Amino acid sequence: MSSFISYFINGISLGSVYAIIALGYTMVYGIAKMLNFAHGDIIMVGGFTTYVITSTMGMSPMVGILSAVVVCTVLGVAIERIAYKPLRGASSLSVLITAIGVSYFLQNAALIIFGADTKSFQSVINVPPIVLADGAITISGVTTVTVLSCIVILIALTTFINKTKTGQAMLAVSEDKGAATLMGINVNRTIAVTFAIGSALAAIAGVLLCSAYPTLSSTTGAMPGIKAFVAAVFGGIGSIPGAMIGGIVLGVIENLSKAYISSQLSDAIVFSVLIIVLLVKPTGLMGKQIQEKV
Amino acid sequence: MKEISKKTKQSLATYILVIAFYAVCEIWLKTGNMSSLMEGLLVPLCYYMILAVSLNIVVGISGELSLGHAGFMCVGAFTGAIFAVTAGANLPELLELVIAIFLGAAVSAVFGFLIGIPVLRLRGDYLAIVTLAFGEIIKNVINAIYLGVDSAGFHISIKDALSLNLAEDGTTIIKGAQGITGLPRNANFTIGIILLLISLFIIQNLINSRQGRAIMAIRDNRIAAESIGLSVSKYKMMAFVISAALAGVAGVLYAHNLSTLQATPKNFGYNMSIMILVFVVLGGIGNIKGSMIAAVILTILPEKLRFLSDYRMLIYAVVLIAMMLFNSAPKAIAFRERLMESINLKRNKNIKEEA
Amino acid sequence: MKKFMCLAMTAAMLAMSLTACGSSDSAEETTAAAAAAEAEDSTEAGDTASSDAVFVIGGTGPLTGSAAIYGNAVKNGGQIAVDEINAAGGINGYQVKWIFEDDEADTEKAINAYNTLKDQDLQMFVGTTTSGSCLAVVPETENDNMFQITPSGTTADITIPENVYRMCFSDPAQGTKSAEYIGQNGLATKIGVIYDSSDTYSSGIYENFVAEAANQGLEIVGAEAFTADSKTDFRTQLQKLKDAGAELVFLPFYYTEASLVLQQADEMGWEPMFFGCDGMDGILTLEGFDTSLAEGLMLLTPFSADAEDELTQNFVAKYQEDYSEIPNQFAADAYDCLYVIKAAAEKAGITPDMSVSDICEALKPVMTEIEIDGLTGQGIKFTEDGEPNKAPKAVVIENGAYKSME
């Protein structure tokens, strides 16, 4: 039993990292209607920024996290301005391919700047682990912090979207871009704000990811990015609570299938579950049903 | 009548382009001026072109976004390779390759059908993510498979080579992540071009057939197409299966061009699927000729950028973004149209001042 | 519109083919020039070496992507050896040119990279870095009869052709030796294994380890896999092995992932013995890694960056000066490869004007005669099969440094 709980907690700890990444994914998708494949690489940039500030320059972790947020926000907005904005109105596939180009760019720029050798990230989170059942079960400090930040971000985002003018504007843009423009909403500005928030979330996700799994290289963000994308779809892409649930469920399934079915095939199992969920609920766990009009 | 002749002209132009490409390369090769790099790239160029045109069936003609095309290539490659090292090992080279191609296409088509059943019920980005998921599942499963053969038949395991319990005379065919080794390398440029021409023939015929028009009608307006009695799932499935089969052919060619075959994230992962999608999008969605040219350019480009050493992939990324912006951004399109117009109207004194 | 794009793209393609043509032409010109210079030289200068003619030695490895660290190490390690050789007067009086191409650790790209090297008049090949692409390139070099020595391709089959040699240990050597070592020294009987099921190197060693473990009376209580797509979270695998009662965990993969395994085991409060292979080397120099976690870790390694001997210390100092990193075993293997070529070339008396195939034929018979004192071993000789005869040495990490276990 205690091992089952351990597997479960491992799953939640991995899943909460996916969830935080998926939140950024789903925000951008909901408003800009694009799959931002470069999201995972912004996470990597956030990780590297924190690494440089705390390990290389020896400043406090707080400074590290804040500068990661600033750098990623600026980067996210810049990418949007340079690469995505000119393509507004073009087919969504063109934007997808451009996002992939941006992803290659960030990975290879990081490779040139920081070199090919993997860095070992020093966790910036110093929260003591919670030990239960006489040491049979340990919940690491990073897990606690990740789950808590996940919940805080979820509440903050929901409040922001429902209570502020900008948030309402985002909702309007995600509903109907044309109508929102007619209502006097600055669509470009709203999308830029979305990218800023999404990238800031990516920075936080980067810090948490690297604290939980302390390794850092130019491709660090790629696979978690894809997994989080799957998590976002799983929960219903565009839905904020869906992303959170999707992330955690994905992490738990991944770990339980590793534990009880096959560690070689855990990726295949995760993807199969995704397919099954989509067959039962074609728009994910919490996605909106789209009514087709003739 | 005029309409038809225009279409025939277009498809003829595509064949001529391919044949001209073949002729130029052959002459270049025969006169001995071709660099080793280009010589080595000839067969890859063929299978990349086949992949690009085959994905164009799904993305361009059927209008669905597929991110799992490399999965079908993987199925074809492994089918062809397993045949090559077992039953095909004693056949004459050409016969072996031909049978392998048919087998690869058939097995990929079956996979395409099986995957198509759930996939085609979904829409848009959900469909895309499920195809991506299938691609990853195929890669992951192949990496876990150990396959051996002895006098008692095939043995399969997902643990390790030992648990195959092979008899004395047995050999291991697939060794998990180590894949298949000792493949015959009998693919060549001529065969590649012939396969490309056959693929083109299939696709051009499909586009110009009743079924093709039905598929395009469904793409353009599903509800309208359904209301006139077209079976959406049948026609979508048709496009999906043909596309998968041709990807399988490309996979067989891939496997017969290398002496070893492994399923890595690099060759059969989502990165490869996306690469093929880039060919299609850059070449113009639905534009067969364009996707072939894009495949050639984007395969040669990273090789030609080698002199940049460390900056190679960085520059490649920049070029990719720039090409996409130039190609698809509404402003760039408007600018190009104005440019074309002003060239066309040069003779005319009365140019209207726009901008 | 479409027409315009088509035109533009065709133009681009033409331009590219033309540059391709141009480059091959220029390559030929340089060969011609070199040959001419050579001819002139032999008539005029007699036995003094030409400054124009050089030996072209090249390698390939991943310089981009997630395996970039290994390719870069080989590139840099080779460069240091070539610089030293050139400063000391070259091989047989001829300077050496070191060229290196990115193969992205992909089979298809590896062939492109190798062909690019051939277009630059490659004469001897130090490659490839990774096992998978090495298997793909070997038939090409066999076909060209190109002398090849791989610094780090471990799969057994690589050295089957006569022209191919290996500098590192093979999978069987490592897997079997590890099991033998654990069994003969009675380290433990209940063994857990974690391996990368998507990696040729890791699953190759794993298989050989399991095969030999049975002969050594070791019980494999659990073999847990991970893949390139999920290589950060090992808690579940560790938990399973812990529950299965493993006393020793065998980790046949690279130190970057192993550092995470050690950290996560520590977090869980589990302290089994850990045993790694040559890929584990580098863990002590991993930037930012808490080396106290690696205390008690055993590994089989041919090279350690903090060895006391002069050769290693010079190499490490030079490497740090040039690349501000601490070299790993890939760099060391590449360095040794160049000295193997130098020793064999001097014994065979080859010159740069010989054809690729002639060089290979001249080198093959002397390969079994040479003996090298390198970074990765003393008195290394090669067998007829192309394998080095050096034995993996087991070391244990004590007080943040390797200590020999013999």
* Per-position pLDDT tens, chain A of length 294: 678 888 888 888 889 889 989 988 888 888 888 888 899 999 999 999 999 998 888 888 889 999 999 999 999 999 999 999 998 888 888 888 899 899 999 999 999 998 888 888 877 777 788 877 666 677 888 888 888 988 999 999 999 988 999 999 988 888 888 888 898 889 899 999 999 999 999 999 999 999 888 888 888 888 888 888 889 888 888 888 899 999 999 999 999 998 888 888 888 999 999 889 888 888 888 877 655 555
**C-beta separation of B294 from B282 below 8 A:** yes
**Residue type at C289 in one-letter notation:** F
One-letter identity of residue B61: I
**Which residues does residue B154 pair with via DSSP β-bridges, in sequence order?**
B149
User: Residue A121: what pLDDT?
Assistant: 84
Interatomic CA distance for residues B69 and B273, integer angstroms:
5
| Residue B27, pLDDT score | 92
**How far apart are the C-alpha atoms of B95 and B88, rounded to whole Å?**
8
Polymer length in residues for chain B: 355
Which pairs with CB-CB distance under 8 Å and at least 24 residues apart come from A143-147?
A: A143/A9, A143/A12, A143/A13, A143/A16, A143/A212, A145/A208, A145/A211, A146/A13, A146/A16, A146/A17, A146/A20, A146/A208, A146/A212, A147/A12, A147/A13, A147/A16
In a domain, B267, yes or no: yes
Structural domain includes residue B351? no
User: Which residues, other chains included, contact B292 with Cβ-Cβ below 8 Å and sequence gap of 6+?
Assistant: B14, B17, B18, B49, B52, B53, B283
Greater confidence (B171 vs C347) lies with: C347
Chain A neighbours, 3+ Cβ pairs < 8 A: B, C
Total of domains in chain B = 1
Out of A107, A268, A290, closest to residue B141 by CB: A268
Bridge partners of C58, per DSSP, are C99, C125
> What's the pLDDT tens digit per position in C78-94?
999 999 999 999 999 99
Q: Considering only alpha carbons, which residue of chain C is nearest residue B29?
A: C21
Nearest-neighbour CA in chain B from A62: distance (Å): 32
Q: What is the average pLDDT across C136-152?
A: 93
A65 touches chain B (CB under 8 A): no
Q: Which of B73, B49, B53, B125 is nearest to B244 (CA)?
A: B73
User: Is residue A286 assigned to a domain?
Assistant: no
pLDDT tens column, B50-59: 999 999 999 9
Contact B260 C25 (CB under 8 A): no
Whole-Å CA distances, B205 to A156, B57, B144, B212, C266: 56, 12, 39, 8, 63
Give, to the nearest 10 degrees, the angle between helix B288-304 and helix B2-30.
20
Contact C303, C367 (CB under 8 A): no
| CA atoms within 13 A of residue B8's CA, in its CB half-sphere | 5
Pairwise CA distance, residues B86 & A108, whole Å: 42
Domain boundaries for CATH 3.40.50.2300 within chain C:
52-169+316-380, 172-301
For C94-109, write each residue's pLDDT tens digit.
Answer: 999 999 999 988 899 9
Q: Answer yes or no: is A48 within a domain.
A: yes
B26-62: burial string, b at 16+ Cβ within 10 Å, e else: eebeeeeebbbbbbbbbbbbbbbbbbbbbbbbbbbbb
Chain A residues within 8 A of C100 when measuring between CB atoms? none
**Chain A residue with Cα closest to C233:** A213
Question: Residue C7 pLDDT > 70, yes or no?
Answer: no
User: Is the CB of residue A288 less than 8 Å away from at least one CB of chain B?
Assistant: no
Average pLDDT over chain B, rounded to an integer: 87
Question: Which structural domain, as residue segments, surrounds residue A246?
Answer: 2-280
Q: Do B65 and A272 touch (CB under 8 A)?
A: no
Quote the mean pLDDT of chain C: 84
Considering only alpha carbons, which residue of chain B is nearest residue A33? B125
Put simply, the answer to whether C225 touches A264 (Cβ < 8 Å) is yes
CATH classification at residue A186: 1.10.3470
- CA A60 and chain centroid, separation: 24
| Separation of alpha carbons A128 and C219, rounded Å | 36
Please check whether residue A84 lies inside any domain of the structure. yes
- Please enumerate in sequence order all residues whose Cβ is within 8 A of that of B202, keeping only pairs 6 or more positions apart, or say none: B242, B246
Which residues of chain C does A121 touch, with a Cβ-Cβ cutoff of 8 Å?
288
Q: Which of C279, C263, C284, C270 is nearest to C399 (CA)?
A: C284
- Residues in chain B within 8 Å Cβ distance of C197: 143-144, 176-177
Neighboring chain B residues of C200 at a CB cutoff of 8 Å: 177-179, 262
Judge whether B254 is closer than 8 Å to chain C, CB to CB: yes
Distance from CA of A177 to the nearest CA of B (A): 17
Preceding omega of A118 cis (within 30 degrees of 0): no
Which one of A16, A43, A264 makes the best mutation probe of the C interface by having the most chain C beta carbons within 10 Å?
A: A264
* pLDDT classification of B161: cutoffs 50, 70, 90: confident
If we measure between CA atoms, which residue out of C202, C201, C200, C195 comes closest to residue C220?
Answer: C195
Residue closest to B50 by CA, chosen among B166, B195, B147, B170: B195
Q: Considering only C40-49, C67-76, C333-342, C389-398, which range has the smallest mean pLDDT?
A: C40-49
Mutation pick from B59, B274, B321, B333 vs chain A, by most beta carbons of A within 10 Å, is: B321
Measured CA to CA, the distance from residue C192 to residue C204 in angstroms comes to: 16
> Alpha carbon C290 to chain centroid distance?
26
As for how many domains chain A has, the answer is 1
Q: Which domain holds residue B256?
A: 2-343
Among A87, A104, A272, beta carbon nearest to B316: A104
Residue C46 phi, psi (nearest 5): 70, -125
Q: Which CATH architecture has domain C52-169+316-380?
A: 3-Layer(aba) Sandwich (3.40)
Angle subtended at Cα A33 by Cα A32 and Cα A38, rounded to the nearest 5 degrees = 75
DSSP secondary structure string for all residues of C259-293: HHHHHHHHHHT---EEEE-GGGTTGGGSTT--GGG
Spatial contact of A253 and A11, defined as CB atoms under 8 Å apart: yes
Distance of CA A40 to the CA centre of its chain: 7
Q: Which two tokens stand for residue A96?
A: 């997808």
Angle at C246 between CA C244 and CA C252, to 5 degrees: 115
- Interface probe for B, chosen from A80, A92, A277, A278 (most Cβ of B below 10 Å), is A278
Examine the pLDDT at B355 and tell me if it is beyond 80.
no
C33, containing H or E segment = helix C2-44
Averaged pLDDT for residues B61-73: 91
- Residue-level pLDDT at B348: 64
Q: What is the pLDDT of residue B23?
A: 93
Contacts of C17 in chain B (CB under 8 A): 24, 300
Nearest to A42 by CA among A167, A197, A170: A197
Provide, rounded to the nearest whole percent, the portion of chain B with pLDDT above 90. 41
Lowest mean pLDDT segment, chosen from C36-45, C66-75, C210-219 = C36-45
Q: Return the pLDDT at B201.
A: 93
pLDDT of res. C163: 92
Instruction: Kindly determine whether residue A105 and residue B281, on different chains, have CB atoms separated by under 8 Å.
Output: no
Centre a 10 Å sphere on the Cβ of residue C158 and count the other Cβ atoms it contains. 24
Choose among A6, A118, A215: nearest Cβ to C239: A6
Cα A226 to chain centroid, rounded: 9
Given C20, C203, C229, which is nearest B177 (Cβ)?
C203
Neighbours of B333 (CB within 10 A): 17
Contact state of C64 with A111 under an 8 Å Cβ cutoff:
yes
Phi first, then psi: give them for residue A123, nearest 5 degrees. -55, 135
Residue A131: left (phi > 0), alpha (psi -120 to 50), or beta?
beta
CB A195 within 8 A of CB A188: no
Q: How big is the A-B interface in CB pairs under 8 Å? A: 133
Q: Which of C31, C72, C112 to mutate to test the interface with B (most CBs of B within 10 A)?
A: C112
Tell me if C112 and B303 make a contact (CB, 8 A cut-off).
yes
Determine the pLDDT at residue C321: 92
State residue C403's pLDDT score.
Answer: 80
CATH code (residue B222): 1.10.3470
CATH architecture of the domain C172-301 equals: 3-Layer(aba) Sandwich (3.40)
| Cα–Cα dist C164/C149, whole Å | 6
CA distance C23 to chain B (A): 8
Residues of A in contact with C232 (CB under 8 A): 213, 215, 224
Question: How many CB atoms are closer than 10 A to CB B301?
Answer: 17
Q: Are B160 and C252 in contact (CB under 8 A)?
A: no
Residues 157-196 of B with CB under 8 A from C: 159-162, 175-179, 181, 185
Cβ distance C64 to B313 less than 8 Å, yes or no, reads yes
Quick check: is A290 in a domain? Answer: no
Is residue C35 over pLDDT 50?
no
Average pLDDT on C389-405 reads: 80
Cβ–Cβ under 8 Å, residues B172 and B148: yes
C227, A264: Cβ pair inside 8 Å? Answer: yes
pLDDT at B1: 47
- The verdict on residue A165 lying in a domain is yes
Which region among A275-289, B24-38, B65-79 has the lowest average model confidence (pLDDT)? A275-289
What is residue B248's predicted lDDT score, i.e. its pLDDT? 96
Dist CA B239 CA B57 (whole Å)? 6
Q: Do A60 and A54 form a contact (C-beta atoms < 8 A)?
A: yes
CA C276 to the chain's CA centroid: 17
Q: B133 and A275 in contact by Cβ < 8 A? A: yes
List, as ranges, residues 233-292 from B with C-beta within 8 Å of A: 270, 274, 277-278, 281-282, 285
Interior/surface letters A84-98, b for 16+ CB within 10 angstroms, e for the rest: bebbbebeebbbbbb
Contacts of C271 (CB under 8 A, 6+ apart): C265
pLDDT digits (tens, 9 = 90+) for C222-275: 889 888 888 888 988 998 999 899 999 999 998 888 999 998 898 888 889 999
* Alpha-carbon distance C47 to nearest alpha carbon in chain B (angstroms): 33
Shortest CA distance to A118 belongs to which of A48, A217, A234, A248? A217
Round to whole Å and give the CA distance between C249 and C238. 9
C305-356 pLDDT, tens digit per residue, is: 777 888 999 999 999 999 888 888 899 999 999 999 999 999 999 999 999 9
Please tell me the distance from the alpha carbon of residue C373 to that of residue C359, in angstroms, as a whole number. 23
Taking the C-alpha atoms of residue B353 and residue B339, their distance in angstroms, rounded to an integer, is 13
Tell me the per-residue pLDDT of B261-278, one tens digit each, with 9 for 90 and over: 988 888 898 889 989 999
